[in-house]
C-alpha cells in the first residue's frame, strides 16, 4: 500500500506551502505529493492525473480539505466514488477526520457516516461559493449605483503635456520635437494625445 497526497490552489500566485507542510508532518514522502496551481472546475490537471495514474487498490489518497478535490458538489462526490469504488483506493481528509474511508469497507455504519458527511460538506462548499459570487455581484451593483467606478483611474495629464499636444496639433512643432518634450515613443504619444484631447 502506498500513500499519496494531493495539493491544489486555484491561481499561480497562491501558495501550496501550508498543504505540503501538513502532508510532510503526516509522514508522506515529498515524491508522493502531487500539486496543481489550477482551478478546480474540472479534473484536467496534470498533477492530479499523474497521481491517479499511480493509484492502485488499497492505496491511500490524502487531501487537506474537501474543496481541494473539486469545486462543486457533483464533481466532488463523483470523484470520491471513482477513487473509492472504481480504483478501490482510500481517501483521508485531514481537516475532517470523519472523511476517512480506511477500514470502512466492511463497516456499514462507518461507511454510511462518511458518505453522509461527504454529501453535506460538498454541498456546503458549493453553496458557500455561490453565496460569495452573489455577494460580490450585489456589492458591485450597489457600488456602481453609488457612482463608484471600477478599473484604473483615468490618467491625469499635466498642463505641459497638454500644451505640447496642442502645439503639435497646430503644427507649431514637429513630431520629433513633441517626442523629445514628452519623452514618449511615437505610438505612445499618439495614444496619449488622443486620450488627452478626449478629456
Distance CA 99, CA 116 (A): 9
Among candidates 153, 150, 149, 155, which has minimal Cα distance to 196?
155
CB atoms within 10 A of CB 37: 16
| 24, 55 contact by CB (below 8 A) | no
Catalytic residue among 10, 65, 158, 186: 10
Distance CA 1, CA 145 (A): 59
Residue 16's Cβ-count burial label (10 Å; 0-12, 13-18, 19+) is middle
- Clarify whether 186 is annotated catalytic: no
In this structure, what DSSP letter does residue 129 have? H
Q: Which residues are catalytic, by number?
A: 10
Amino acid at each position: 500500500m502506498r500513500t499519496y497526497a494531493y495539493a491544489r490552489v486555484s491561481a499561480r500566485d497562491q501558495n501550496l506551502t501550508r498543504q505540503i507542510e501538513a502532508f510532510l508532518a503526516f509522514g508522506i514522502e515529498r515524491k508522493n505529493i502531487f500539486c496543481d496551481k489550477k482551478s478546480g472546475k474540472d479534473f484536467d490537471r496534470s498533477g492530479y492525473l499523474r497521481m491517479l495514474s499511480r493509484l492502485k487498490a488499497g492505496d491511500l489518497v490524502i487531501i487537506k480539505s474537501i474543496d481541494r478535490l473539486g469545486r462543486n458538489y457533483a464533481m466532488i462526490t463523483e470523484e470520491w466514488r471513482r477513487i473509492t469504488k472504481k480504483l478501490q483506493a482510500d481517501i483521508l481528509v485531514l481537516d475532517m477526520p470523519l472523511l476517512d474511508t480506511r477500514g470502512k469497507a466492511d463497516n456499514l455504519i462507518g461507511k454510511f457516516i462518511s458518505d453522509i458527511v461527504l454529501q453535506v460538506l460538498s454541498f456546503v462548499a458549493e453553496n458557500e461559493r455561490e453565496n460569495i459570487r452573489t455577494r460580490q455581484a450585489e456589492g458591485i451593483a450597489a457600488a456602481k449605483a453609488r457612482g463608484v467606478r471600477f478599473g484604473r483611474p483615468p490618467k491625469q495629464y499635466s498642463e505641459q503635456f497638454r500644451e505640447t499636444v496642442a502645439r503639435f496639433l497646430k503644427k507649431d512643432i514637429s513630431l520629433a520635437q513633441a517626442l523629445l518634450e514628452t519623452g514618449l515613443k511615437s505610438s505612445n504619444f499618439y495614444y496619449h494625445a488622443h486620450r488627452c484631447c478626449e478629456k
